[in-house]
Amino acid sequence: MRLVLVGPPGAGKGTQAERLAERLDVPHISTGDLFRANLRDETPLGVEAKRYMDAGELVPDEVTVGMVRDRLADPDAAKGFILDGFPRTAAQAEALAALLAENGTELDAVVEFAVSDDVVVQRLLGRGRSDDTEDVIRRRQEVYRQDTTPLLDFYSDRLVSVDAVGSVEEITDRVTDALRDRR
């Protein structure tokens, strides 16, 4: 199964990706987590990403695509993956399609997490990560609307939309059911 999870910041992509990866027995690949791991290890990539993350901006496409290309080349990704937070721009979506085509594969489905801005602001303020201040969250929401929502049209032939308000368990069941109905 090759899946992409799309949704506004705080929609619960990371939370659901972890659970779905376990159910489907494929790796969970989160660009946010990869950037944060680089930041912790103080790599040049982490230092560069931090400026953007702290401002609620997207890390430049070249940097992000290179990091994902390397991760997808790891042997565990050959059996499938859940991409969480990537692609977020049209250029990233095109780069991903090209990468998959090189291996003769494509995405099976793109899951959209639908949730209102106010719900996610409350969730994220409760989490307290360094980029979870109200101003930065509002900027991330704007960036999502501007740069990432066009991908929903790009993926219209494989898009599965799920209501992301409810308990964590309910939402995992909704995604699993929606994917089963598609097959």
Query: What count of other Cβ atoms lies within 10 Å of the Cβ of residue 87?
Result: 26
Q: 27, 32, 112, 141: which one contacts ligand B4P (CB under 6 A)?
A: 32
In degrees and rounded to multiples of 5, residue 129 shows phi and psi of -70, 165
Residue 141 binds to ligand B4P (criterion: CB under 6 A): no
Number of residues interacting with ligand B4P: please give it, by CB under 6 A: 29
CA-based end-to-end distance of the chain:
11
Q: Which residues are annotated as a binding site for AMP?
A: 31, 36, 57-59, 85-88, 92, 129, 140
Residue 83 binds to ligand B4P (criterion: CB under 6 A): no
Coil vs helix vs strand at 4: strand
Q: Which H or E run contains 166?
A: none
Coil vs helix vs strand at 73: coil
Q: 86, 93, 111, 172: which one contacts ligand B4P (CB under 6 A)?
A: 86
Q: 171, 172, 174, 175: which one contacts ligand B4P (CB under 6 A)?
A: 171
**What is d(CA 155, CA 59) in angstroms, rounded to the nearest whole number?**
22
Q: Which residues are annotated as a binding site?
A: 10-15, 31, 36, 57-59, 85-88, 92, 127, 129, 140, 166
Q: Which residue is nearest to ligand B4P (CB)?
A: 32
Coil vs helix vs strand at 62: helix
Residue 88 binds to ligand B4P (criterion: CB under 6 A): yes
**What is d(CA 160, CA 89) in angstroms, rounded to the nearest whole number?**
18
Residue 15 binds to ligand B4P (criterion: CB under 6 A): yes
Residue 155 binds to ligand B4P (criterion: CB under 6 A): no
Residue 96 binds to ligand B4P (criterion: CB under 6 A): no
Residue 58 binds to ligand B4P (criterion: CB under 6 A): yes
Buried b / exposed e over 14-49, threshold 16 CB at 10 Å, is ebbbbbbbeebebbbbbbbebbbebbeeeeebbeeb
Length reported for the chain:
183
Q: 70, 163, 168, 177: which one contacts ligand B4P (CB under 6 A)?
A: 168
Which positions touch ligand B4P (CB under 6 A)? 7, 9-15, 31-32, 35, 52-53, 56, 58-59, 64, 85-86, 88, 92, 123-124, 127, 140, 166-168, 171
